[in-house]
Structure 1
């Protein structure tokens, strides 16, 4: 899946998405290049919109999530090997948690992203392989 940046400004986000405790303010400038196309590595839903995980302009070795209103979908096809999973929040009694659409190693492992950010070699290798397949 590919998306193209139409805005990198919090000023373009819908009012219900703004939340200062999340850093989502009208003044926020996201490290994205307007007009550039990015590969989506995972999709989640929060605050009633999709969020796309992608490699941004900071050149981090892991994808970061961004709200979908900042983008136009340029290629909506999903890789055939992606799966959907939902993880309940163990801290609450309700079923609120997180849903994720991505490759199975990430979707089926609640600690995958944390290990990726921490640079765990096996997890990094899995992500690099997936990234290279979707390039």
Structure 2
């Protein structure tokens, strides 16, 4: 799956919900708002900015629905680790999915969500949390999956 960045700023209707409270940092703006990705910048009380290049096409390595928001797992040019970005920042330009993707539901803070992506991401909630917190073993698994996924795309062309 490939997505094209159409915006790198997101006007908030309330604050962006947290994916993982222990991994984030409280914002001075609101006790309930947690910064969930280190490349998110609070521009003002109404807008979040992201380190993404508008019009650039990115590979998507997972899709999550949680707390009424769809997020895409993306690696941008400034980071070597994947980050979850709001889907509102993108248009889908290639909707084909790798043959080995899985789908599963999960529960966090008594809230249900679902995940679509590679096996470890989807089947192991602890791995998901470790990936968000950039624990080395989780990044290694991601990088191995990414290499194999890119190889699959090359063969399919």
- TM-score of the pair, normalised by structure 1: 0.79
User: Deviation of residue 112 (structure 1)?
Assistant: 1.0
Q: CA distance change for structure 1 residues 17 and 77 in 2, over 3 Å: closer, same or farther?
A: farther
Tell me the SS of whatever aligns to 1:111.
helix
* Residues 42-69 of structure 1 deviation map (CA, whole Å, 9 limit, x = unaligned): 1001343311011124313x21111111
Q: CA distance change for structure 1 residues 103 and 74 in 2, over 3 Å: closer, same or farther?
A: same
Structure 1 segments of 4 or more deviating over 2 A?
15-20, 22-27, 46-49, 113-116, 123-126
Report matched runs for 1:59-74 at 5 Å: 59-60=79-80, 62-74=81-93
Which one has the bigger strand percentage? 2
- TM-score of the pair, normalised by structure 2: 0.69
Q: Distance in 1 between matches of 2:4 and 2:85?
A: 12
Q: Distance in 2 between matches of 1:113 and 1:106?
A: 6
Matched, 1:38 2:55: no
Q: CA RMSD in A?
A: 2.3
Matched, 1:84 2:99: no
Task: Work out which of the residue numbers 74, 78, 82 in structure 2 matches 1:54.
Answer: 74
User: Deviation of residue 10 (structure 1)?
Assistant: 1.8
What is the aligned length? Answer: 126
Q: Distance in 2 between matches of 1:26 and 1:45?
A: 23
Q: CA distance change for structure 1 residues 85 and 6 in 2, over 3 Å: closer, same or farther?
A: same
Tell me the SS of whatever aligns to 1:28.
strand
Q: Distance in 1 between matches of 2:89 and 2:71?
A: 10
Q: CA distance change for structure 1 residues 46 and 69 in 2, over 3 Å: closer, same or farther?
A: same
Unaligned runs of 5+ in 2: 18-29, 36-41, 151-157
Q: CA distance change for structure 1 residues 6 and 132 in 2, over 3 Å: closer, same or farther?
A: same
Q: CA distance change for structure 1 residues 17 and 73 in 2, over 3 Å: closer, same or farther?
A: farther
